[in-house]
Amino acid sequence: MGFHPQYLESFLRTQHYLLQMDGPLSLHYRHYIGIMAAARHQCSYLVNLHVNDFLQVGGDPKWLNGLDEAPQKLQQLSELNKILAHRPWLLTREHIEGLLKAEEHSWSLAELIHAVVLLTHYHSLASFTFGCGIMPEIHCDGGHTFRPPSLSQYCVCDIANGNGHAIHHDDPLGNQELCGEVEVLMERMRQLQECRDDEEASQEEMATRFEREKTESMLVIMAEDDENVPSRDISRHFEDPTYGYKDFSRRGEHVPTFRAQDYSWEDHGFSLVNRLYPDVGQMLDEKFQMAYNLTYNTMATHKDVDTSMLRRAIWNYIHCMFGIRYDDYDYGEINQLLDRSFKIYIKTMVCSPEKTTKRMYESFWRQFQHSEKVHVNLLLMEARMQAELLYALRAITRYMT
């Protein structure tokens, strides 16, 4: 994240508030929920981090033997953790009611909002962690990131400020083979902008294009379909390890459409979070906006480029995979801007991040800088978090009304 200092500041401020500042949940509960969420995606880097933090704030070591050793109240969160991580569209007001109206060990609304924000934060952070190839421990055997070795001699600040262009490629032949990738994408953006100006599709056509893209997104094959069996160190922190996104795609189940006009972050989710967990709604909103609007107006070696169309396509494609539709967006643009290798990377990183490979990371946008790919990972992380939050907050709102 150090490639993007503005975003990093917003991220760290939000995470510090969620974990350290006044809030409905005790400190050791917060870290344990972080462990539960990261374990759902087998993210040992984050699990280990929060195991240490959990113990440092006085958490009971027995809880780390497994979820069945934790308090019943935390065990009851397991179903919410599972659904949010893999199929958030299945979340209902009944799930919320079960947590808030449990005869014993029930959750308050404020506690539940805090827990939901933590779960979605760590699910999406696991996506970012795997997307950047961060494996524990970076400095130990088997640990690594996807960061190219050639960047090591440069200051992160230089790269974030665009001063690292000359070091993007080590292979001059590779440069020749890839020549034109960026120019083709820029030309498509220009043509789409002209089409926008010339004609506007009907609402019926826009809806049809969304449904088509949503259906196609289900058919995008993720990483090799081998079974990732989590180690006991990880699997003991959650239940039902076979539950995942892949099950729904195999069975061909239909993801229902969630119209953003009916329930959006800006008009509904933001105010609910802020009301029940003061200041956090504002922090999350600033973080979402920072990721969505962040730009250096560059694409690889090209400067003064308006990338807003591309950033919106990436964000909306992720929400489309979760069934979320924006009535004012033409989903036909996604196929023009995101090629198949990029879609495979996006779907794997967002839906099954533990299957993300270096080969997938290297196969998309091969002419772009590493810092630009990290920027993509920030977009994927925040879009995923907001999508999960929308489903959870909508279910809570339905319970309350």
Residues with catalytic function: 43
Q: What share of the chain is helix, strand, coil (3-state, %, to 5)?
A: 65, 0, 35
Residue where the block lists tokens 């088997």 = 142
Q: How far apart are CA 24 and CA 46, in angstroms?
A: 23
CB 276 within 8 A of CB 110: yes
CA distance 77 to 79: 6
Cα atoms in the 13 Å half-sphere on the side-chain side of 283: 18
Answer for the pair 332, 314: CB distance below 8 angstroms, yes or no.
no
As a whole number of Å, the end-to-end CA separation of the chain is 39
What is the distance between the alpha carbons of residues 186 and 305, in angstroms, rounded to a whole number? 8
**Tokens 């958030």, residue located:** 88
Kind of pairing between the strands at 298-299 and 302-303 = antiparallel
Per-residue H/E/C for 331-355: CHHHHHHCCHHHHHHHHHHHHCHHH
Residue type at 338 in one-letter notation = L
Residue 140: how many other CB atoms lie within 10 Å: 9
> DSSP letter string over 250-277?
HHTPPPPPEETTTS-IIIIIHHHHHHHS
Handedness of CA 236, 73, 37, 352 (dihedral sign): positive
